[in-house]
Amino acid sequence: MESIKVGMLGLGTVGGGVLKIMQEHQEKISAITGRRLEITKIAVRHVAAHPEVAELGIELTDDVNAVLNDPDIQIVVEVMGGVDPTKDYIIQALKNGKHVVTANKDLIAQRGSELVKIAQANHSDLFYEASVAGGIPILRTIVNSFAADQIEDVKGIVNGTTNYILTQMVAKGMTYEAALKSAQELGFAESDPTNDVKGIDAAYKMIILTQFAYGTNVKLSDLSVEGIDKIDAVDIQQAKSMGYTVKLVGESAEINDHLAVSVAPVLVPNDHPLATIQNENNAVLVKGAAVGTTMFYGPGAGKMPTANSVVSDIIATTKNIVLGTSGNTFNGYRQKAALAKPSEIFSSYYIAVKMPDIPGQLLKLTQILTEAQTSVSQVVQTETDGKEARVVAITHNISLAQLHTIIDQIDQEASIELKASYKVLEAQK
Amino acid sequence: MESIKVGMLGLGTVGGGVLKIMQEHQEKISAITGRRLEITKIAVRHVAAHPEVAELGIELTDDVNAVLNDPDIQIVVEVMGGVDPTKDYIIQALKNGKHVVTANKDLIAQRGSELVKIAQANHSDLFYEASVAGGIPILRTIVNSFAADQIEDVKGIVNGTTNYILTQMVAKGMTYEAALKSAQELGFAESDPTNDVKGIDAAYKMIILTQFAYGTNVKLSDLSVEGIDKIDAVDIQQAKSMGYTVKLVGESAEINDHLAVSVAPVLVPNDHPLATIQNENNAVLVKGAAVGTTMFYGPGAGKMPTANSVVSDIIATTKNIVLGTSGNTFNGYRQKAALAKPSEIFSSYYIAVKMPDIPGQLLKLTQILTEAQTSVSQVVQTETDGKEARVVAITHNISLAQLHTIIDQIDQEASIELKASYKVLEAQK
């Protein structure tokens, strides 16, 4: 059987998982691809730190060029992370005619379209299934199974760290700070959790999902992004008592040929499939005009799930090499789209305010809502210390422009303080 | 652009959907495949019944041979259903060198391996994504994304009719008979619902899923199949009060290289993703050694979801024609496996019995459980009329062999009547 040589950049958690799967399932992979896949060379920072790999007969090097310029290597697997200089390494590999598999979400979200063009020009494959929702094969599913359908909405829980933190806050009534600390201690959150808790990581994934769903490139600045770091435990418990679970939801919706892409805390009805996604798991809902709503659920990160997605990409690349069909883009679908205006984006909202507990205050809030032509399904006074009351309203469907009007009016009312405003998801029938 | 001609057998609900998608998304399909796909001929029972199709310039015929033997047709789409004579038509198409796409679950489950061999011998594609869980792209996902992983368990809700009936029973406290009648009136159940309510339809889907997950062919007689037609509304409500939702779950598990494939009513914990699958929707959970648990959820049937899966297969077949890679089997993975013995299959069980409400009876039940070395997490007396009591026990993990012993012992005890025994699913973390 012919062999195909694979080089790797990086040998951290995911890289170790890739190596393990490639070794343990070599026979099955050969049966599927008709080729023996051999990892021959791995570029690492400290060669001496991996004696067990050297024993496998794999060459370790601290020079990435030794991998990038090796004429025998056909597939380069990038699992070192980071945008610079990793981008240049991938470009060099592609220009050297190698196929590239990467799990690098930040890089693909920020420089993906540039890399895709270089891959195409060099008739090389560039695959990155692992970059979104680790173990969930969502990108290839969109490419293969929604090809003839028109996707109308993609939404989901695409960041495991924040979902872990929110799960703890809901289940144990913890504050955000306490839940973050516990997540850090257990290794579910990094010591600098900014990218996760501010919603940036989820936003990068929504950029990639938007590309696959609508064939449209959007930038981070095109998205409305809100993290979980401002969430008050009071609102989590209040939502719970009303039958909702608070989740950080990314959504990319097509509205009258315009796109609205956002990441924000959202109230999810308890009987909605997204409400049952616990801890570090991810889930993506895709709504197609023909298919209706489908959901894909699984581990969003972790060594082996992510490594499995990388190996699936290596297998797909190998099949293309065998078939002589390399260099077709992962997702060939391209179109332009403008962003939706706030007047086009509709939802129901949860609005929490604090106000003096004196007659006339509730009337003021009602007037603000009425002036914005907003009707509500419920208004609840949730707590009062005799002086100040907390009031929560859930609106019917209103536009984002109406919500902005309401928030502006509340800001102008000295005696009413806005504590939170979150989207409320519709029930899934 | 070159065109590829497609012939269809049947023009019922799904066929109409396929025609609609192919017409409305012609441009997008051409962009993806590089070919213009043209439906040129459709075999129907009554030509005169489809004047609107004739107007599209598509030839209608009541002679299937006009499609099967048309040298210009490269892809035959079978959406007429039934096992005989449909099987012979598909064989004829394959022998004539045509690629075949079918949504015919009964046929694939019963005669799939035979048809796959004929397709391979003739270098033809045979695709049938729509045969399992209509709109959910589960088969292709297993092929592409679990290629290098070892699947350990596949379980799911794969029959929409029974899930609709159970959803009504849980939500509205309806009896099985009332829920079935309502499902029939709304078109969610057929006038002869036997295949659905007895679990046969779900069993066929589990046969196909087992083939894809483990590369193993099993027959209907290899499965343990129990339907929903004997479920007592009392047990549904009892389960509900204990925090469970009753679902008809198909499961195919690999245990020590042995397979256990079953369809049966199961108690699902309310915070488990399967518990939120409402009405006619389907969901399949796949557990891989590397990936962990993933779930795929969506419409299990219906005109457009099923048609979309058929069109995805047509697109996949067309890509293969263009690439010259036809005739690789949909799932090339093959291995032999024996069936697991009852002593190898472990689960927790819900056991409901009726017994005289007199002292000593509960002791008898406890003795039976103890003799079978079964400990229980709870025992509840749920109702009594003063003479007869209903008692429900939930066991810890026991083997199926132990369950059989318990049931045998209860059968031998004249004063205790077994009312129900259902598997209890573990919570999903």
pLDDT digits (tens, 9 = 90+) for A303-352: 999 999 999 999 999 988 987 778 877 776 677 789 999 999 999 999 99
Q: For the segment B34-58, what is each residue's pLDDT rounded down to a tens digit?
A: 899 999 999 999 999 999 998 899 9
Contact B135, B302 (CB under 8 A): yes
* Burial class of residue A217 (count of CB atoms within 10 Å of its CB; 0-12, 13-18, 19+): middle
* Burial class of residue A362 (count of CB atoms within 10 Å of its CB; 0-12, 13-18, 19+): middle
| Residues of B with Cβ-Cβ distance to A333 under 8 angstroms | 28, 31-32
**Beta-sheet strand order (sheet of B99-102):** B59-61, B36-43, B3-9, B73-78, B99-102, B126-127
What is the predicted pLDDT for the residue at B7?
98
Smallest CA–CA distance, residue A355 to chain B, in Å, is 36
If one counts every other C-beta atom within 10 angstroms of the C-beta of residue B229, the result is 16
- Whether residue A203 has pLDDT greater than 70: yes
Residue with tokens 């796949």: B286
Q: Residue B73's closest CA among B105, B97, B101?
A: B97
Helices (H), A173-299: 176-185, 194-197, 200-214, 233-241
In 3-state terms chain B splits into helix, strand, coil percentages (rounded to 5) of 40, 30, 30
Q: Which of residues 29-58 of A touch B (CB under 8 A)?
A: 29, 31-32
Which residue from A271, A291, A324 is facing B276, i.e. has the nearest CB?
A271
Search chain A and give the residue with CA nearest B334: A31
Q: A–B: how many Cβ contacts below 8 A?
A: 179
Cα–Cα distance between B99 and B315 in angstroms, integer?
12
B221 touches chain A (CB under 8 A): no
Q: Are residues A304 and B292, on separate chains, in Cβ contact within 8 Å?
A: yes
Task: Output DSSP code: residue A428.
Answer: P
Contact A284, A154 (CB under 8 A): yes
Residue A190 known to bind ligand = yes
Mean pLDDT on A269-294: 91
As beta bridge partners, residue A136 has none
Percent of chain A with pLDDT over 70: 99
Residue A12 known to bind ligand = yes
What is the predicted pLDDT for the residue at B336?
77
- Whether residue A82 has pLDDT greater than 90: yes
Name residues whose C-beta falls within 8 Å of residue B15's C-beta, 6 or more positions apart in sequence. Answer: B8, B42, B77, B79, B80, B307
Cα–Cα distance between B133 and B285 in angstroms, integer?
12
| Residues of B with Cβ-Cβ distance to A275 under 8 angstroms | 276
As beta bridge partners, residue A281 has A299
B296 touches chain A (CB under 8 A): yes
What is the predicted pLDDT for the residue at A410?
96
Search chain A and give the residue with CA nearest B332: A32
B151 touches chain A (CB under 8 A): no
Q: B interface mutation test: which of A125, A285, A295 has the most B CBs within 10 A?
A: A295
Smallest CA–CA distance, residue B202 to chain A, in Å, is 19
| Residues of A with Cβ-Cβ distance to B29 under 8 angstroms | 147-148
Catalytic residue numbers of A?
A: 205
Residue with tokens 């730190």: A49
Distance, C-alpha A285 to centroid of its chain: 12
As beta bridge partners, residue A379 has A393
Contact A347, A374 (CB under 8 A): no
Smallest CA–CA distance, residue A42 to chain B, in Å, is 21
Name residues whose C-beta falls within 8 Å of residue B189's C-beta, 6 or more positions apart in sequence. Answer: B161, B164, B165, B180, B183, B196, B197
Q: Which of residues 302-331 of B touch A (CB under 8 A)?
A: 302, 304-305, 307-309, 311-312, 315-316, 323-325
| Residues of B with Cβ-Cβ distance to A271 under 8 angstroms | 276, 278
The average confidence (pLDDT) of chain A is 93
In 3-state terms chain A splits into helix, strand, coil percentages (rounded to 5) of 40, 30, 30
Q: Are residues B31 and A333, on separate chains, in Cβ contact within 8 Å?
A: yes
Q: Residue B421's closest CA among B80, B429, A182, B411?
A: B411
Helices (H), B327-429: 361-371, 400-412
A335 touches chain B (CB under 8 A): no
Contact B232, B265 (CB under 8 A): no
Cα–Cα distance between A326 and A319 in angstroms, integer?
9
Beta strands B388-395; B376-384: pairing state: antiparallel
Contact B226, B263 (CB under 8 A): yes
A135 touches chain B (CB under 8 A): yes
Q: Which of B41, B205, B247, B287 is catalytic?
A: B205
**Beta-sheet strand order (sheet of A36-43):** A59-61, A36-43, A3-9, A73-78, A99-102, A126-127
For A59, the token pair is: 């060459």
For B294, the token pair is: 């993933």
Q: Are residues A294 and B25, on separate chains, in Cβ contact within 8 Å?
A: no
Smallest CA–CA distance, residue A274 to chain B, in Å, is 9
Handedness of CA A325, A327, A330, A332 (dihedral sign): negative
Q: For the segment A233-250, what is each residue's pLDDT rounded down to a tens digit?
A: 999 999 999 999 999 999
Cα–Cα distance between B126 and B140 in angstroms, integer?
13
Residue A387 known to bind ligand = no
Name residues whose C-beta falls within 8 Å of residue B253's C-beta, 6 or more positions apart in sequence. Answer: B152, B153, B154, B155, B259, B260, B261, B340, B345
Task: Output DSSP code: residue B183.
Answer: H
If one counts every other C-beta atom within 10 angstroms of the C-beta of residue B114, the result is 11
B173 touches chain A (CB under 8 A): no
What is the predicted pLDDT for the residue at B332?
65
Residue B9 known to bind ligand = yes
Q: What is the pLDDT along chain B (429 residues), one digit of tens a residue?
A: 899 999 999 999 999 999 999 999 998 888 778 899 999 999 999 999 999 998 899 999 999 999 999 999 999 999 999 999 999 999 999 999 999 999 999 999 999 999 999 999 999 999 999 999 888 889 988 888 888 888 999 999 999 999 999 999 999 999 999 999 999 998 888 899 999 999 999 999 999 999 999 989 999 999 999 999 999 999 999 999 999 999 999 999 999 999 999 999 999 998 888 998 999 999 999 999 988 999 999 998 889 999 999 999 999 999 889 877 788 777 766 777 899 999 999 999 999 999 998 888 888 999 999 999 999 998 888 878 888 999 999 999 999 999 999 999 999 999 999 999 999 999 876
Q: Are residues A148 and B299, on separate chains, in Cβ contact within 8 Å?
A: no
Cα–Cα distance between A304 and A325 in angstroms, integer?
28
Cα–Cα distance between A292 and A140 in angstroms, integer?
18
| Residues of B with Cβ-Cβ distance to A148 under 8 angstroms | 21-22, 25, 28-29, 308, 311-312, 315
Cα–Cα distance between A196 and A306 in angstroms, integer?
17
Contact B374, B426 (CB under 8 A): no
A291 touches chain B (CB under 8 A): yes
What domains can you pick out in chain B, each with its CATH number? 3-134+303-323 (3.40.50.720), 138-299 (3.30.360.10), 342-424 (3.30.70.260)
Q: For the segment A355-393, what is each residue's pLDDT rounded down to a tens digit?
A: 998 888 888 999 999 999 999 998 888 878 888 999 999
Q: A interface mutation test: which of B22, B149, B284, B425 has the most A CBs within 10 A?
A: B149
Q: Are residues A294 and B293, on separate chains, in Cβ contact within 8 Å?
A: no
